[in-house]
Amino acid sequence: MTIEADTFRRTLSRWTSGVTIVTSQYGGAVHGMTVSSFASLSLAPPLVLICAARSSNTHELIQKGRTFAVSILAQGQEDLSTRFASKEEEDRRFEGLECTVGPTGCPRIPGAVATLDCRVVQEEEAGDHIIYVGEVVDTTVTDRAPLVYHHGAYRELVP
């Protein structure tokens, strides 16, 4: 028995998550995409995982360059989340952003709560996505509040 895609999507919208932008670079090309499928995996060694649609340009660069960076977005960065999620905005995703780069050479989104630079240590096919496991080689952390997404809308954490 298989459930319908709309039912599955509506059910998963009840899962509250942070919002990240995953970036990669290879051969002079740079891409990034909004990703909610991100999780910590292991402390020793430090591992995280992300899921990338096979159809995304960012997936192609991760596969070729074997590196990616995860920027955990902060409150007030909803516009960046939307820009990096939109296919219509794909050619201008990095416009006006003064990104820094970590040791992997992948762009770090300015103003993010935290960033993690990763090198791919494993990948696994899963439906229309690829699961990438990355070993974290560098991080940055700030005290900003995170951008939160729940039931189809951005939310704020209330102390």
Per-residue pLDDT of 64-117, as tens digits, reads: 999 999 999 999 999 999 999 988 878 889 999 999 999 999 999 999 999 999
What DSSP assignment string belongs to the chain?
A: ----HHHHHHHHTTS-EE-EEEEEEETTEEEEEEE--EEEEETTTTEEEEEEETT-HHHHHHHHH-EEEEEEPBTT-HHHHHHHH-STTGGGTTTT---EE-TT--EE-TT-SEEEEEEEEEEEEETTEEEEEEEEEEEEE--PPBPEEETTEEE----
Confidence category of residue 2, pLDDT binned at 50, 70, 90 = confident
- What pLDDT was estimated at residue 88? 81
List the domains of the chain with CATH numbers.
20-145 (2.30.110.10)
- What pLDDT was estimated at residue 68? 98
Is a pLDDT exceeding 80 seen at residue 158?
A: no
Is a pLDDT exceeding 90 seen at residue 140?
A: yes
The answer to whether the predicted template modeling score (pTM) of the entire model surpasses 0.85 is yes
Mean local confidence (pLDDT), 123-129:
94
